[in-house]
Structure 1
């Protein structure tokens, strides 16, 4: 029986025209296993012919899913969260899911109750947690108590029974430091990130490891604790660059702080990179727009978020592969981008190109 003229087709219409049960249509739309390929093709053909668009609530009741994935963040660096949100949104859209983004204060005394109320109201199929929430035991416990799957992005600790996606922050920071050393820099200033985020310590470890591997000392006076914000980069740069013997290069733990270093250097009358080389971390949108463009590390935020969504969808579908160690903990590759903010120490400026 066809739908009434002017009314939208229903799942009943699809089932009748495809000659299958409503449950079979639901299983096809939810991409569940156990449906013969011929039947699947027939159902999808009818769906296309009728231009049937399943309502979210109906899909939820039919497949036991809400088709919602949550993204929780508390991070002063917009570059990281922005990249994660874009990557997760695109991957959700491809799979017929919706992304719900919520900001939580990591130090909120009632954070367990906030997460509990949120999950009880939305009933998401899974949650993606960014730093530092991914290391907050109250957040994790609230999700476990609600039996909600979750993926940790760049966690400081990696529980064996939880999904996680990250890049190798320590290795990336070591590569940046090795680059500066290869350019002849030995007095290198370092600006740490927020102390409540695991990446801050990992990037500092990479810096120290590279310095020590080249028998270079790490001077405490050349290390400043920032918080991943532009103002902390400005403040740290003024402290480091006002010394009687200033560093010839500064490595900031993210691009926001590196941009603060660049601004401070220019206010102090220093030429970058002739007087000072600067490197950042993240490859934010601003990193390639400023002058000189920043040498930095491209963190695969889009890819990390996309993989996280895939993990949650697979887990909700009881995909056996989702439980294997190889797929439960993913480390994605990064890229070192060498730009004009770093240069060999005491090198001559490049000749100007003729117009």
Structure 2
């Protein structure tokens, strides 16, 4: 196949069109459309040839034309209500980059999870934007009113880290229970027995799942979970500070604290240092999420690396390529994806005073 001169469009001075791309690549307009929409069924050599012509011509498809032709808006919505800025930022970055690669646009909206008219807000949003799909982050992913509103509007959605998922729903998550078990097992292996846990808000599925993993590991080692060592938090830095003051004001203090996310763990770290405690010698601290700040503080935080960007990318792919995530195919579009996490062992954890323990290496799920 001979490719024509791709330096200029067929109409001097005019913006290149999909017809120009098709003619100069020697393919049909439909093939160009399939390449631009990342659809299957195009030979790799043909795909590369079309993309080269697109790049040479600097062709940019008009969103409105694509929308009318394919009955799609090429918009993906991301709905969030989460006090953790690091989580939202990571998810937004991953989703935006994957949308850009696929020629889509990402629309990010915040909804209050307890709003009485949240279903009506979703209905108005869908009616105005007509998105090709929605990504729901915690706790919206467990909000029945939101999910029903999207279902009624026939708008596909992907639930990110839901509490439970039915077989006909798409979801992406990590194994929070197992990850929390690993963190707790690490602390126990270092010699800690009096381990405190700082929970997240009750409406966040991850909070309960991570506590379940903590409790499971403690009981498996014959250690009791003392009620006074379990403190409530809300996934924010101030709640971690408050929980730490409660835990560290006791006559018999914990030797380690596991917080259900990094923001709270960093609050515990700040409170401990203000009280004159040495971390990790006097108090080991572990978190969850591996937020950017976890590796910027001193000592850097032992935590679980939750692949937020990868989770968001996967969620986008489930919406735009429902049968081709990770090059897999299935007879039905709904899928449940569980991505790997990594335990990051850093300087905020060590053996308690008077107890020697072997060095622990990072583990992958």
Question: Is the shorter-chain TM-score for this pair beyond 0.5, marking a shared fold?
Answer: yes
Aligned partner of 1:321 among 326, 329, 332: 329
Aligned partners of 2:235, 2:351: CA distance in 1, in Å?
27
Spell out the pairing of 1:206-355 with structure 2 (5 A cutoff).
Answer: 206-315=213-322, 321=329, 323-324=331-332, 328-347=335-354
Q: Compared with structure 1, are the counterparts of its residues 36 and 90 closer, same or farther at alpha carbon in structure 2 (3 Å cutoff)?
A: closer
Q: Compared with structure 1, are the counterparts of its residues 247 and 109 closer, same or farther at alpha carbon in structure 2 (3 Å cutoff)?
A: same
Instruction: Name structure 1 gaps, 5 residues minimum.
Output: 350-355
Shift of 1:276: 0.7
Aligned partner of 1:112 among 101, 119, 134: 119
User: How many residues align structurally?
Assistant: 348
Instruction: Name structure 2 gaps, 5 residues minimum.
Output: 1-8, 357-365
Aligned partners of 1:92, 1:227: CA distance in 2, in Å?
31
Q: Displaced runs of 4+ in structure 1, greater than 4 A?
A: 15-24, 33-46, 316-320, 322-325
**Structure 2 residue 153 is matched with structure 1 residue 126:** no
**Structure 2 residue 84 is matched with structure 1 residue 93:** no
DSSP 3-state at the match of 2:329: helix
Aligned partners of 1:338, 1:320: CA distance in 2, in Å?
33
Shift of 1:321: 2.5
2:212 matched residue in structure 1: 205
Contact 1:191/1:252 (8 A) holds in 2: yes
1:187 matched residue in structure 2: 194
Contact 1:15/1:21 (8 A) holds in 2: yes
CA RMSD, Structure 1 to Structure 2 (Å) = 2.5
1:353 matched residue in structure 2: none
Aligned partners of 1:261, 1:339: CA distance in 2, in Å?
16
2:66 matched residue in structure 1: 59
Shift of 1:167: 0.4
Aligned partners of 1:90, 1:36: CA distance in 2, in Å?
25
Q: Compared with structure 1, are the counterparts of its residues 38 and 203 closer, same or farther at alpha carbon in structure 2 (3 Å cutoff)?
A: closer
Contact 2:190/2:351 (8 A) holds in 1: yes
DSSP 3-state at the match of 1:31: coil
DSSP 3-state at the match of 1:190: strand
Shift of 1:73: 0.5
Shift of 1:89: 1.3
Aligned partners of 1:49, 1:229: CA distance in 2, in Å?
49
**Structure 2 residue 80 is matched with structure 1 residue 73:** yes
1:184-241 Cα offsets, whole Å, 9 max, x none, are: 1111111000110011000001111111111111110111010000010000000010
1:95-129 Cα offsets, whole Å, 9 max, x none, are: 11111111111011111111111111111111111
Q: Compared with structure 1, are the counterparts of its residues 281 and 69 closer, same or farther at alpha carbon in structure 2 (3 Å cutoff)?
A: same
Contact 2:173/2:337 (8 A) holds in 1: yes
Contact 1:27/1:63 (8 A) holds in 2: no
**Length-normalised TM-score, structure 1:** 0.90
Contact 1:187/1:248 (8 A) holds in 2: yes
